[in-house]
Structure formats: structure tokens, C-alpha cells
A and B are shown apart, each in its own frame.
Chain A
Amino acid sequence: MADIELRQVEKRFGEQYAVRPLDLCIKNGEFVALLGPSGCGKTTTLRMIAGLETVSGGRIILNGQDVTWLKPSQRDVAMVFQFFALYPHLTAWENIAFPLQAEGERRENIQRRVKEVAELLQIEPLLKSRPGALSSGDQQRIALARALVRRPSCFLMDEPLGALDADFRETMRSEIKRLHILQNATTVYVTHDQIEAMAMADRIVVMSQGVVQQVGTPAEVYHTPSNLFVAQFIGSPGMNLVKGHWADGVATLPGGNRYTPPPDWPEALNRGLSSSGVIVGFRPEAVHIHPNGQLAATVYSVDLHGAYTMLVLEMGDDHSIHARVSRDAHFTVGETMRFDLNPSMVRFFDPKNERAVPITNRN
């Protein structure tokens, strides 16, 4: 079990930054997800922690020990690769035993530990097969078993579910979560799927173009995104972002809408905005349909989801927003409707620097 600490860790390939200087503290037993679109530097960060990639700067501290220049084999980490990386010339059993053989473990011990981990993952019937003969889900289980068998101090997983079929992904997701709870080992989990990160992680590190955008619990990154990127990237669909003008305590929005923010905001906006531009952000579920609502929009499309209905609304020309409404409500396309925003769920962003405007301290 271990803490992982990254201090100003960075990685350049030639002149190109893959990861800009990054600070991160992962507590013992924590499940942290590195989340971001493809190419944002998640894998590179993970590989630096594993020791498969040298750092271009900064230090990596594992369990209080500086491991920046140690070899992967000296770091006591286990890694699960995106495409499993099971050795094709070995059987499942041999694959799982492989890390134990490196430690020069005794034969009986190897037998016993492989058996234990195989029971845990319910893969005993597969042990004699070669990876090529197994389904991708089973291969993933073997790969997890190979990582678990050594009882390392931390697990690094690089999109371990990326190569699985959609319906199987959910099963494996809960399985990984269950294993994490059972083992309580520090886990760094790379994914580009925000649903996966939200469902599994204690904390999420949102990255984009080699820069950490926000570090926080799933609720924090969902409800109080620190900038436009996080607001858009988290959630499906992402946060509604409506461009407007801020003047005299009123935000003028497209379609002739005028929005008066909740009482604790005007002062914060006056102080926090660098110009008169403002972006109002709110989640689809913050929309509250009301005949006397402050805002108006035209219904563009109505998508039934069973449990709820998702409306696409147009505020002025090509400014569409999503609204999540009760499944009982009925709307027709082209109809104009009025709504309010849940005051505790409205956020504001500065269009100049794309950052969230911090809420005024209420004391």
C-alpha cells in the first residue's frame, strides 16, 4: 500500500510537451482516475509512474521513496495494459505466475497464490488456455489476475476496459471496483470515458493537452467544473454553456433573454469577470420548466429516454441547450416555452480565460 506523489513531473518528446509540469498527491488506498480525451498525456503520465518512460523533469515519490530514476522492476507497481499484453506463447496459468517467477518464489507458493487469485476472479477453468483462445473479457480477467497476484503497493491501469464490448464493460467495471475495495490498493486508472471515471473513482484528474484541468471528486468536477473544458467534457451531454453580456446585474443572453443571477453572484461576477462577456453554464437537469420562467426558448427536438425526456432547445439562432425534464411532460417541436434555472446549479465562466468565476465567500 502506498502514497504516490508527483512533483512538477513533466514529459517532452523532442520540443513537444506530452505532459506539462504536474503536481499530484494520491493517498494510500485511493482510486484516482486520469481522465481526458485521446492524446492528452494520460498514458504518458501513467508510464512515468510505472518507470516505463523517463521524466523530463520533476520527481516521483512512491511511499516516501524517491523512485524517479528507479527501474520499473524496483518500484513495486503492477500495470494492466490497454490491450492486456498477455504473453501469447504462455498459458493463462503461466501468464499469472510470470511475475512470481521473477521474484524467485517457491513452486508451492506460486501454485497457491495463482490458485487464490484465480478463485478471486473466477477464472479457474481458463488457466490451461492460451490467451489467443480466450474472449477479450476473459483475457482482461487474466491480465487483472497477473497484476493482482504479486500484491503490489499500487495498480496502474491504462484503459483496461477500452478493448471490451460495451455490454461487458459494465460487468468488468464493477469487478475492478470490487477488487479495489477488497484489496484496498492505491489505484491509478486511465480512461477517456467520463462515465467510467465518475462511476469508479474517488477522485478524478481531468487532463487536456498535457495540462491538468481539475482535480476533484466526481461530484466536484461535475457540479463545479473549474473551466469550460471540464464543464463540456464531464457529463453526457456536457454542461450547457450560453454566451452573454454582463451589465448592471443582468446577463443578456441570446434570443432576447435577460437573466438575473441568484443573489450571491452579482458581486462575484463584478469582481471576477475580466470584461463584459460572460458564459452562463448549467446542467440539463438544472432546467426547471415554469410558465413564468425568466428565460424562453423554442423546442428543437424531443428525445424520449424512458426514465426522463431530453429536450433540445434553441435560445436564439444556433444556440442550442439541453434540458432534462420529467417523462410525463409533453412538448411539441417548434413550441416556445419558459423556464428557470435551479439557483444552486448555475455556474459562470469568463470567456476570456475560460475559467469559472469563483463564487463569493458567503461570510
Chain B
Amino acid sequence: MAVSTTSAPITYATRVDKVGARYQFTRALRIAVVVLYATISLIPVFWMVTAAFKSRPDVVAIPPKVFFTPTIEGFISLLTKRVLLPPGMMEEYKQRTDLNFAERIMAERGQRITGPSQYGQRLLNSVIVASASTVLSVLLGVLAAYAFSRFNVPGKGDLLFFILSTRMLPPVVVTIPIFLMYQQLRLYDTHLGLILLYTVFNLSFAVWLLKGFIDEIPREYEEAALVDGYSRLQAFRKVVLPQAITGIAATFVFCLIFAWNEYAFALMLTSERARTAPPSIPTVLGTGGIEWSAIAAGTLGFLVPVIIVTFALRDYLLRGVTFGALRK
């Protein structure tokens, strides 16, 4: 057989053991399992996303519709307060020329928009509470973790265990004492109250996780900085922090997700002013029956911020959650 001199270069990286039938088969099998798993986990998300864009009859249709005409009814219901108009007044209302886009859509369903809903405010509360408590947990956590990792803190083992033990009892057990305490302390239905509570819950997690990451950083780096003329705090900032950034990002996301998703305490400890999104979304009960598309739209809106943060930090996260086992 003649060897063509113009043939594509041979890629020596092609490993012989990766072209055999057996390898091909197990590879296909592995991919199939991953795809199956991904599909199963994504079905609820898919339902939620589609439901958010479905009209009222479509969303309750059985079997569920995969193809449908999208509408933003759900989002409008989510963001507004409405009243049902009697059929007589309806005709007259529809004739009005000053109706905006949203009002027109709702008018088709016989509803009149009376004002904005509280969803925006609740979402904002969530952002405030979750970001403040996350920043606080990570900040305190990284300082504590550094101290535990590097210094001879008296009673170190006991302290670390104590910190961990705060996570050993199911949080629900303490809801009532905390509720009573918060009423006394005037922390009930305040942002500060939730921020403090979430910080306490996240702190133990943050300290342990970050201590693991900081333990991995050789002391020599800081010691080199100390000898080179830096103070302990400067060395911490200029040498330790940049190297712990993966761990900090991972911890940040974990804390954020906890604070963002927390439901039970938010339900118990807030009512109007400080109520966050999780306890409020299921209560989007519209006029006449459950508004599934509004709930789905609310959940979607609730998901977006965490998705953005997680996506922004994905590189750190991948290395962070594998605890450094995976390197770029």
C-alpha cells in the first residue's frame, strides 16, 4: 500500500487502549448513564421553565403539553395584584384605550391589574439577607479558619468540635426558642435577624471547609513573607488569601445557596418587612385557584441569581468541590 505523503499528520496522542471495542463500549455506557441521570434531574427544571410560559389551561393540561404557545401571563400574575372583573364591566374595561401591554393580556383573562405585587421586594430581601450573611460567614470563617490552621489556639480541638456541633441538631428543633428570643430582642421580621441567624448556621460550615483549604497552603509562603518584611496581617492578605481563593469561592457559593434556599426560619421569623422569597413563592395564590404558571415564574426568577453566581465562579467551584484533587 502506498503511503500518501500528503496525509494528515498522525496524532500520536491517540492511545491504542482508547480505540478498542471494549473501551468504546464502556465509554458509551458511561455516557448513557450520565445522560440518563442528567435527564432525570432536569425534568423538574424543564417542567418549571415551560410552566412559567404556559397559559392557564395549558399548565394544568393532562398529559402535560410539551408544545404550546408561550405567554408571559405567569410573569404578569407574579408581579401584580389583580381583581376579577364581572363580565359586564369587563367589556367596558377592554374598550379603554389607555391600557398597557400587561393590562391588555390580563384583561383577556377577565382580570384588572390593581398594583404591583410584593415579589420584587421579597426577592430583594432575599438578595440582601443572603449576600450579607454569606459575606459575613466567609469573612469571619476565613479569619477563624486561618487562626485554627496556623496558631496554637488554646482548646483548639474542643473549639472546633463545638463549632461543628452547632450543626448536629436539626435546625427545626430550635425554631420556637429562636422565635421567642427574636421577639424579645426585636429581631423578629428584620433583615438583621435573618442575617445573623444564617451567618451562625453557615459559619461552622465555612470554618471547617476553609480550614481544610488553608491547611493545604504550606506555611512557608507566609513565613517567606514574614522574613521579607511583612506583618502577619499583610502576609495573610497578600499571600494566603490569593491562594485560598478557590476555597473561598467554593465556600461562598455553598453558604449563598444555603442562605438563599432557607425556608423554615424565614417562614417563622418574618412576616411583612423582611420576608424572603422562599416562603412567599408558594403563597402566590392568585384569584381563583393555584396559579401554577405564576409560581413557576417566581421560582424561575428565584433561580436566576444563584445560577449567575455559580456560573461566574464555576472554575473555582470545580476545583473547590473536588478539594484540589482536580487541577487546571
A85 touches B218 (CB 8 A): yes
- Residue-wise interface mask of B (215-255) relative to A, using a CB-CB cutoff of 8 A (1 in contact, 0 not): 00010110111111111001000010011000000000000
Q: A48 in the interface, Cβ–Cβ < 8 Å?
A: no
**Contact among A71, A82, A83, A103 with B226 in the assembled complex (CB-CB below 8 Å):** A71
B242 touches A89 (CB 8 A): yes
**Contact among A79, A102, A146 with B230 in the assembled complex (CB-CB below 8 Å):** A102
A77 touches B227 (CB 8 A): yes
A78 touches B239 (CB 8 A): no
A16 to B79, CA, bound (A): 70
How many residues belonging to B are interface residues under a CB distance threshold of 8 Å? Answer: 16
- Give A88's nearest chain B residue, CB to CB: B243
Which chain B positions have C-beta within 8 A of A79? 223-224, 227
A-side interface mostly: loop
Which chain B positions have C-beta within 8 A of A82? 220
Q: A87 in the interface, Cβ–Cβ < 8 Å?
A: yes
Q: Tell me, rounded to whole Å, the shortest Cβ–Cβ distance linking A362 to chain B.
A: 48
Which chain B positions have C-beta within 8 A of A50? 223, 227
A88 to B229, CA, bound (A): 19
A81 to B243, CA, bound (A): 18
A73 to B224, CA, bound (A): 10
B226 touches A146 (CB 8 A): no
A51 to B225, CA, bound (A): 12
Which chain B positions have C-beta within 8 A of A78? 227-228
Q: A150 in the interface, Cβ–Cβ < 8 Å?
A: yes
B223 touches A52 (CB 8 A): yes
B229 touches A81 (CB 8 A): no
A103 to B227, CA, bound (A): 12
CB interface residues, A 72-104, toward B, < 8 Å: 72-73, 77-79, 81-83, 85, 87-89, 98-99, 102-103
Q: List 19 A-B contacts (CB under 8 A).
A: A52-B223, A52-B226, A52-B227, A71-B226, A71-B231, A72-B223, A72-B227, A73-B228, A73-B229, A73-B231, A79-B224, A79-B227, A87-B225, A89-B242, A98-B225, A98-B228, A99-B229, A102-B228, A146-B224
Which A residues form the contact surface with B (CB < 8 A)?
50-52, 71-73, 77-79, 81-83, 85, 87-89, 98-99, 102-103, 146, 150
Which B residues form the contact surface with A (CB < 8 A)?
218, 220-221, 223-231, 234, 239, 242-243
Given contacts A73-B227, A73-B229, A79-B223, 7 further A-B contacts (CB under 8 A): A52-B226, A77-B227, A81-B223, A85-B220, A87-B239, A98-B228, A103-B229
